[in-house]
Structure 1
């Protein structure tokens, strides 16, 4: 890609991403923007200004060497200084001020983009990395804001067409043969530090579900008393299930007509063909035990997503090396729900595993640890400070994840009790 092509690509991505941010923040009034809809989430207006502040810090000041736009608000929008629960009490920019601020920053960013040299020896700008990092940061906050919309009370404000219908419903399990594959990446220009370095991993043979666990599958677990029998749950999981009073996925409601789901302000019957969403790690772990299986490891999940048994190489995506298209995966808030299992046959892996990218983040059994050769870049707080903590990994992205912020090497993590995220799972088991 030429320097001019890279500039044009980045500019288009900046505009496209900001349009989604605007949609999410302009769909509600100022009261909703400043209200805290859940102690798990920031007020939407905090996310908006935080996006602008990170853009200012990295692109205006670091890459561009320009004077600060608002140096007085850096601490307010430092995610490590204030927990989400406490952010509503801060003297935050009001909605008009936040919009003006992010607009000012963006004007300066476009000026920096016009002048920066991508052939510089400075690693931060090589291949447009700093711009890619900030694009992914804003897109990640867009998904977080979408999750906040799911938690807000009131009438619906977001609309989108329904996802496509299933055309080739996968069933059963897929055998992934034993052997080594390349995990992680050294070649993805905008890959983040925890995705690096590429390294060989020897994975024993295993079976993995051809599709994510569906609502229909999960209903069978509920109906069989899965939430009432401690034998399916880990010790920590059972303690959490009792203390939190878990009895179904988050946002599920039961009445005389059966189970319903509240989705972005609308209540509708649970669709048995959709991947189950809004379950925590402990719920996924219990279902897998009830089904006589387990959750895949992170290496197993990535091998199922990337390894091509015909060539022995690791692909960028299950379907190949091309970026995601609408025929491949349910991404980018194009729809406001997971698609039915079997809706994206063109996105299947060479082994025949479906919907590994998009629809729902998939819990895996691994904790968050660095890869061999890991080096923090460009700052420790992105990954390194979380290694070894009480986290479980999530892979593959959801219907709310943007196409630029997902790939088969992308690693997400969260506490095992979290359910407000768009999280689901699939099961695996040893080949023996």
Structure 2
């Protein structure tokens, strides 16, 4: 199995540079997301599913203080009285607007103060001695945490009513994809997860062998055009395709299309970051919940891939039998590989990024849309919570379904072939899509 080239013995300056670049990239994005709207938009709750943007901003600073200043450097708390305000488990999102949160300017000053001190800690860091500091893990964890909240804030921007506040160039147009609709993934053993990726989070560990039966998987994510065919065929009105809980959910909430879609005569429109546009037929479908993805797959005579199937399609190298970091190999993501990092504010057309396809020929496994899988979020054999059980352990069980691959809103530091995301099967505000699979007859 191939693992990341950086190991704990690597020159400290290389680790320092990687950590610094990751922290700076995350903070630049946080600044963009919290400076493109005015104070009332920062303090408002744009959806009961989301926090006010100003809560995320101060929470980012508070987590950085707790882990880099207190846990790593052993410093005294700067503002211990605000810890409980920004504890995600103490206060659910719906309650957060009523808390005595730091005002926007004060939240910015606090986050900047913490960052300045954290960079001083980074400058002196030895990257050894403890598991928290080995290979710069704590700094990578905090960079990933901030980027995850940046994606959350981008979701809040999508839910926000009002004029457009964010802009970005569209992905490059590509010819209509005419390659094979599906790819055969061979059966056999496969190494899932990681034990050597230095910044991998606890739920990605440890690496372990899995036996996988052969299966077919879609070459690209399901497109808006394909999903519209499901709608037009009465998919939302036919109970045959739906899990019982999903059928009850869509009937209860009168769901008849992906979130943010509306019909205008013969065409479908969608709202995207304050702009209304015709639904682009060749983009991967976006803002569908697990139940919708599962129903489409049943309607199409297929199914959602399991998590292990998805990861084998993304990481398996048939030439060596090993597992790669990414579909294209072990190199860090570059712009030609995937649609990541909020470079664009939409998925790229299906079939984009041929340089990022897997050795088996599967495309867009990384970036564009999070992909629902059939699997519940469960620990791997030998799982150990680190550095705190609230990151993963408290979410394990049948209530959460696994998503894989990342979206256009995910930064490369928080996205790799082993990275696992999870959410409730009813969630649609996230940047979620899917691809389908089918078993090989007789396997």
TM (normalized to structure 2)?
0.96
SS state of the match for residue 322, structure 2?
coil
Aligned to 2:282: 273
Task: Check conservation: 1:171, 1:211, Cα contact below 8 A.
Answer: no
Q: Any residues of structure 2 matched to 1:155-194 within 5 Å, and which?
A: 155-167=163-175, 169=177, 170-194=179-203
SS state of the match for residue 262, structure 1?
strand
In the alignment, structure 1 segments of 5+ residues that lack a partner are none
Q: CA deviation at 1:66?
A: 1.0
Aligned to 1:286: 295
| C-alpha separation in 2, matches of 1:423 and 1:304 | 19
| C-alpha separation in 1, matches of 2:398 and 2:214 | 29
| C-alpha separation in 2, matches of 1:256 and 1:389 | 40
Which structure 1 residue ranges, 4+ long, deviate > 4 Å from structure 2? none
Task: Check conservation: 2:352, 2:363, Cα contact below 8 A.
Answer: no
Task: Check conservation: 1:232, 1:290, Cα contact below 8 A.
Answer: yes
Aligned to 1:408: 417
Q: CA deviation at 1:8?
A: 1.8
Task: Check conservation: 1:347, 1:355, Cα contact below 8 A.
Answer: yes
Task: Check conservation: 1:168, 1:345, Cα contact below 8 A.
Answer: no
SS state of the match for residue 190, structure 2?
strand
| C-alpha separation in 2, matches of 1:75 and 1:10 | 28
| C-alpha separation in 2, matches of 1:8 and 1:367 | 37
Residue-by-residue CA offset, 1:214-264 (whole Å, 9 max, x unaligned): 000000000000001000111111011101111000000111251011000
In the alignment, structure 2 segments of 5+ residues that lack a partner are 1-9
> What is the count of residue pairs matched by the alignment?
431
SS state of the match for residue 46, structure 1?
helix
Task: Check conservation: 1:167, 1:345, Cα contact below 8 A.
Answer: no
Task: Check conservation: 1:45, 1:94, Cα contact below 8 A.
Answer: yes
Q: CA deviation at 1:171?
A: 3.6
Aligned to 1:339: 348
Q: CA deviation at 1:173?
A: 0.8
The partner residue of 2:330 within 310, 321, 326 is 321
Task: Check conservation: 2:287, 2:428, Cα contact below 8 A.
Answer: yes
Does 2:23 match 1:14? yes
| C-alpha separation in 2, matches of 1:343 and 1:368 | 29
Aligned to 2:439: 430
| C-alpha separation in 1, matches of 2:351 and 2:244 | 35
Task: Check conservation: 2:224, 2:283, Cα contact below 8 A.
Answer: yes
| C-alpha separation in 2, matches of 1:5 and 1:316 | 20
SS state of the match for residue 85, structure 2?
coil
SS state of the match for residue 323, structure 2?
coil
Task: Check conservation: 1:156, 1:265, Cα contact below 8 A.
Answer: yes
| C-alpha separation in 1, matches of 2:52 and 2:380 | 34
| C-alpha separation in 1, matches of 2:113 and 2:363 | 43
Does 2:418 match 1:383? no
| C-alpha separation in 1, matches of 2:347 and 2:184 | 25
Aligned to 2:4: none
Residue-by-residue CA offset, 1:160-184 (whole Å, 9 max, x unaligned): 0011222572341111111011000
Q: CA deviation at 1:409?
A: 0.2
Does 2:132 match 1:145? no
Task: Check conservation: 1:302, 1:409, Cα contact below 8 A.
Answer: yes
The partner residue of 1:354 within 342, 357, 363 is 363
Q: CA deviation at 1:121?
A: 2.2
| C-alpha separation in 2, matches of 1:171 and 1:30 | 50
The partner residue of 2:123 within 107, 114, 122 is 114
Task: Check conservation: 1:69, 1:104, Cα contact below 8 A.
Answer: no
Aligned to 1:132: 140
SS state of the match for residue 145, structure 2?
helix
SS state of the match for residue 51, structure 1?
helix
TM (normalized to structure 1)?
0.99
Residue-by-residue CA offset, 1:366-405 (whole Å, 9 max, x unaligned): 0011001100100111111111140000000000000100
SS state of the match for residue 352, structure 1?
coil
Aligned to 2:3: none
RMSD: 0.8
